Amino acid sequence: MKTQHKSNPNNRAIFGIFLILFGCLLVLKNLDFIPYELRHMIFSWPGLLIGLGALFFFGKEDKTTGIVLMAVGGVFMFPIIFDWSFNWRGLFWPVVMIVVGVVVIRKRNACEGHSRSGVGIDSDYIDELNIFGGGEKMINNKNFRGGKVTCVFGGTELNLSSADLAEGTNVIDVFAMFGGCVLVVPSDWDVKVEVTAIMGGVSDKRVATTNYIVEPKKELIIRGLVLMGGCEIKSYK
């Protein structure tokens, strides 16, 4: 029988801690314990990003989400701290480009230790990069070990229905920003979805069925970050 994915308890803990800390700050603000100079920094959208980023950085094994949020929030916090008068909102797209570049390089380096026969549809690992474009691809590998999917202003659909998982824990690392990806997985795979969505969405549309038995010692974890984008996981009967 197909295993059902359960929510990651770390995500609930991170969200709960964030609400508690934000509530405490609001209490201190209403009691006038926070100086006025700090209020406009703490209760601003860059401050919100930095706070969320710090929680994700220290509360999750994958630090990418935390680094991205703190970097973006930190850049836009400088004009607030130093009261710069120029149009700092014009920095938005340059900052987005820098952050995307750093994330792409970081994810590439994170997987350099994997020994693989090559990159593409015939390798054990996938490395999909879609920027201002996209497409569909069928993965037929019989010893699939995971890989990376990066979509920026673009999208892709990867069909794994004809592939077989390698033994052990296999990971697909997803990063989607202003774009999205669709992953089609077989119904008899043991799949866990651990993707963080910020101003975006993650949709698990796999069909629950009793007709398949999950193979033991084989597991696929789909994790990563969706920022103003989307990720959909589905299966065919």
pLDDT recorded at residue 151: 85
Query: How far is the C-alpha of 14 from the C-alpha of 196, rounded, in Å?
Result: 12
Query: Going residue by residue through the chain (237 aa), what tens digit of pLDDT does each one get?
Result: 344 444 455 556 766 777 788 888 888 888 888 887 787 788 887 888 888 888 777 776 667 777 777 887 887 787 777 776 666 666 666 777 777 777 666 665 555 544 444 444 446 888 888 888 888 888 888 889 888 888 888 888 999 988 888 888 899 988 888 888 999 998 888 888 888 888 788 888 887 666 666 666 788 999 888 888 889 998 876
Residue 229 neighbours by CB under 8 Å, 6+ apart: 151, 176, 177, 178, 179, 180, 200
- Measure Cα distances from 181 to 17, 36, 48, 107, 174 in Å: 30, 44, 27, 17, 8
Residue appearing with tokens 């794994």: 160
Phi, psi of 228, rounded to the nearest 5 degrees? 55, 45
The pTM assigned to this predicted structure is 0.61
